[in-house]
Amino acid sequence: MDQFDLTSRLAADAPAPAPRFTGFPRYNFIGGHNDPALIPLPGLIEAARAALGRDGTKLAMYNLSQGPQGYLPLRQFVAGKLAGHRGIKGTAEDVLITSGSGQGIDFVNRLLVAPGDTVLIEEFSYAGAITRARQSGAKVIGLPLDAHGIRIDALETILADLAARDIRPKYIYTIPTIQNPTGSILPLDRRQALVALSARFGVPIFEDECYADLLWHGVAAPPALRALAPSQVVHIGSFSKSLAPALRLGYASADWPMLARMIACKADGGTGAIDQMVAAEYFTHHFTGHVATLSTGLAAKLAVMQDALAAEFGTAVETWAPEGGIFLWMKLPDSVDVRALVAPALAAGIAFNPGPEWAVDAEAAKSQLRLCFALPTAQEIREGVAAFARVCREVTGIPPRSANIAHPGD
Amino acid sequence: MDQFDLTSRLAADAPAPAPRFTGFPRYNFIGGHNDPALIPLPGLIEAARAALGRDGTKLAMYNLSQGPQGYLPLRQFVAGKLAGHRGIKGTAEDVLITSGSGQGIDFVNRLLVAPGDTVLIEEFSYAGAITRARQSGAKVIGLPLDAHGIRIDALETILADLAARDIRPKYIYTIPTIQNPTGSILPLDRRQALVALSARFGVPIFEDECYADLLWHGVAAPPALRALAPSQVVHIGSFSKSLAPALRLGYASADWPMLARMIACKADGGTGAIDQMVAAEYFTHHFTGHVATLSTGLAAKLAVMQDALAAEFGTAVETWAPEGGIFLWMKLPDSVDVRALVAPALAAGIAFNPGPEWAVDAEAAKSQLRLCFALPTAQEIREGVAAFARVCREVTGIPPRSANIAHPGD
């Protein structure tokens, strides 16, 4: 057999081949990257030395000989952070370390969702959460948002309508603290109303706090939903935003009956050990200082991006006002379909996340988009936003005028 | 709702809850642990310093900004190792870093196996490979083994019988170089015959070389199957045995059409970055020396275990003769069902892997078992084997006499 092609034996539902990776464009506003200048290298190197020196022989054992929940000092740090910053009581025994928060989302869908089930997700949300729910066979219903998160009146109507049809959703997925992509914080009274609705209709809450460590100076967040109603909530979080996404470190916190099922799903032989050791060692000593420095740097970049958008797009863009995090969510005029901008923007060296991929109803979000301001430098933000405005105008005629006309040197 | 129980909403096929981890027993002969004394701590600490110092800012980007195939220096090391040690041509572009070799097994099953398909696996094999194939819905047929691996005559008969019934298996899973659990090496003539049968019957080979780096001094292995017939073989390997299992680092090598599908399966956001960086940096400089030291240490522990078994079990145990690796596979008399020994052994502080879990036909392997000699010290091996012999005799009457009678001080 000269031409043996393994792929001729593929299962019918095998995914399409991945393209070869060819690098990122010059102006990279996509995804959840962080600021390279704010990776605390000396601290991480010292943490690696200290943690390996103390616990390195444990690398010879799967899970560092500490069981599938993860490296004990990391779980202890998470439990302390959740108690001290988010009001969630518990110990290291209540925490599962996951290989990124995406693994936590996988586990919750694996455990709760059967094909045909219904789940509720904020109308604009993390693409990975929407996609994973749908891959599990769920019907996804969007929850209307305003500047402060889920609109409780709308949620109540949706839950009541579903109950009237004997449909009980498997979960309400929410990012209440620095919502992705809008950057809002759900106020305490809405949190209380949300957990009350969850209890009344018997619908679990799936709380994702991946961005909750990154609040602008002076901004305070109410307690986590799991702090308000522990038994009703599966809570997940991540070190991707507070430290670095390449580490692949997330965590889950839930009451033991649910956590024990999530642990049963963790068939990957554990999460990478040195990543866990370094994160635990570094954050045990430097968490508060690091997230303060990081948030200050990110807030400054957000201001640069807001200024650039105002200068380049003027009134043609409506931006949300994030209270932390790494994303800016915005809307162009209804006549603009941002999907038509993806290819010409890429050709001009610009990558952005089109709103339809971050929305339960793709069509309704066709004029919206998300920009990440964490990775590019201030200069790249200014140049990239100007370049994006040029592409947008060439394709759509919008914005009709912008700063780059007045300042052709841009 | 006072008693909100998330688990009341579980999908019907949700797994059973995991038990709380309570630590390992004193004499731990299970799993693929390594020797804690042979973890090269100073080298790993230096590697962390060097790699983080050079590439640490890339942690701010998913996949270190190098795409889903993994950290480039690690892929370069793997490509060089495969070329230099295993005869597999290729570059870093032909390698996918996986989160443990188990992820590679997941991907191959995901891509090739649909429920009802048939796969062929060596009659004694890695439990995770047998389990994952069955979880994918495959019917698993066992391939008879002798001291040199797959019996080619038996494989030919099985393939011909299946072909006569219009059944074409999706793959032949084999561990040709330091077979798990038997420790055998498939000779070159059998490798050539195996790839010829693969081509003749159009059945892909799924080659797992997780243990191939650990050969006893003076033992040489023929080229990998993928070296002999690149297009017919998906090849996977691991750093769990050559460096440390807690790192969760494996790799896959396949022609691009298949590798591109495996990359498409890698939806985990990448493999842990610092683990990749440390392994790449350390092994780029120290691979040959480290595996030589490690193999020497493991061979010495094997000799201790063989001596202990001879002293404690005498002729009641038939052991295979591994040519490398970390496992010893053995058989007790037919009257012994090792499954009856698991609980009393645990009660005596001894954990072993019962043969039925490492066999396609569990019942036929009821008198066999696997012991890992890498983790325990020489003294623990001696004490543990003696303790195991006592348990075995109490439960089964076998062995009727052993060294621990002659030496009650044991």
pLDDT averages per 10-residue partition of chain A, 410 residues: 78 96 96 95 98 98 96 98 97 97 98 98 98 98 98 98 98 98 98 98 97 95 98 97 97 97 96 98 98 97 98 96 98 97 98 98 98 98 98 94 51
Residue B77 is predicted with a pLDDT of: 98
HEC string for A90-144: CCHHHEEEECCHHHHHHHHHHHHCCCCCEEEEECECCHHHHHHHHHCCCEEEEEC
DSSP string for residues in B242-281: TT-GGG--EEEE--HHHHHHHHHH--SS-S-HHHHHHHHH
Which residues from chain A sit within 8 angstroms of residue B21, using beta carbons? 66-69
Q: Which two tokens stand for residue B86?
A: 């295993």
Nearest to A33 among B12, B17, B61 (CB): B61
Chain A nearest CA to B144, separation (Å)? 25
Nearest to A7 among B16, B257, B275 (CB): B257
Q: Is residue A383 part of a domain?
A: yes
Q: Is residue A2 part of a domain?
A: no
Binary contact (A275, B270; C-beta < 8 A): no
Q: Is the whole-model pTM more than 0.90?
A: yes
Q: Is residue B277 part of a domain?
A: yes
The dihedrals phi and psi of A23, each to the nearest 5 degrees, come to 90, 170
Q: Is residue B92 part of a domain?
A: yes
Chain A nearest CA to B26, separation (Å)? 12
pLDDT digits (tens, 9 = 90+) for B98-147: 999 999 999 999 999 999 999 999 999 999 999 999 999 999 999 999 99
Contact A163, A201 (CB under 8 A): yes
Nearest to B21 among A67, A113, A199 (CB): A67
Binary contact (A247, B111; C-beta < 8 A): no
Contact A358, A282 (CB under 8 A): no
Residue B403 is predicted with a pLDDT of: 59
pLDDT digits (tens, 9 = 90+) for A286-311: 999 999 999 999 999 999 999 999 99
DSSP run (H or E) holding A318: strand A318-319
Q: Are residues B194 and B268 in the same domain?
A: yes
Residue B4 is predicted with a pLDDT of: 82
For helices B41-55 and A41-55, give the axis angle rounded to 10 degrees.
Answer: 170
Distance CA B59, CA A21 (A): 18
Chain B nearest CA to A354, separation (Å)? 19
Q: Are residues A368 and A231 in the same domain?
A: no
Q: ipTM, 2 decimals?
A: 0.96
Distance CA A60, CA B40 (A): 10
**Structural domains counted in chain B:** 2
Q: Are residues B258 and B388 in the same domain?
A: no
What dihedral do alpha carbons A308, A311, A317, A318 form, nearest 10°?
A: 70
Among residues B266, B286, B306, which one ends one of the domains?
Answer: B286
Binary contact (A10, B261; C-beta < 8 A): yes
What domain range includes position B71? 60-286
Strands annotated E in B250-384: 250-253, 318-319, 327-331, 350-351, 353-354, 368-372
Distance CA A24, CA B341 (A): 57
Q: Are residues B255 and B304 in the same domain?
A: no
Q: Are residues B382 and B313 in the same domain?
A: yes
Contact B261, A14 (CB under 8 A): yes
> Which CATH number is A394's domain given?
3.90.1150.10
Nearest CA in chain B to A245: B62
Q: Are residues B269 and B294 in the same domain?
A: no
Residue A400 is predicted with a pLDDT of: 87
Binary contact (A15, B264; C-beta < 8 A): yes
> Which CATH number is B115's domain given?
3.40.640.10
Q: Is residue A3 part of a domain?
A: no
For helices B152-164 and B188-201, give the axis angle rounded to 10 degrees.
Answer: 10
What is the separation, in whole angstroms, between the first and last Cα of chain B? 59
Residue B3 is predicted with a pLDDT of: 63
Which distant-in-sequence residues (6+ apart) come within 8 Å of B286 by Cβ?
B40, B43
Q: Is residue A156 part of a domain?
A: yes
**Interface probe with A: pick from B22, B24, B58, B275, most Cβ of A within 10 Å:** B275
Q: Is residue A9 part of a domain?
A: no
Sheet of A353-354, strand order: A318-319, A327-331, A368-372, A353-354
Q: Are residues A32 and A52 in the same domain?
A: no
DSSP B363: G
Chain A nearest CA to B95, separation (Å)? 12
Residue B136 is predicted with a pLDDT of: 97
pLDDT-flagged residues of chain B (< 50): 1-2, 404, 406-410
Peptide bond before residue B322 is cis, with ω within 30 degrees of 0: no
pLDDT mean across residues, chain B: 96
Q: Is residue A377 part of a domain?
A: yes
Nearest to A59 among B52, B244, B274 (CB): B244
The dihedrals phi and psi of A402, each to the nearest 5 degrees, come to -155, 175
**Interface probe with B: pick from A242, A275, A290, A375, most Cβ of B within 10 Å:** A275
Binary contact (B271, A275; C-beta < 8 A): no
Map tokens 């539902």 to a residue. A13
Question: How many A/B residue pairs have CB atoms within 8 Å?
Answer: 324
Binary contact (B261, A39; C-beta < 8 A): no
Nearest to A323 by CA among A223, A213, A236: A213
Cα→Cα distances A299→A295, A372, A377, A378, B175, Å: 6, 12, 13, 11, 53
Which residues from chain B sit within 8 angstroms of residue A24, using beta carbons? 61, 65
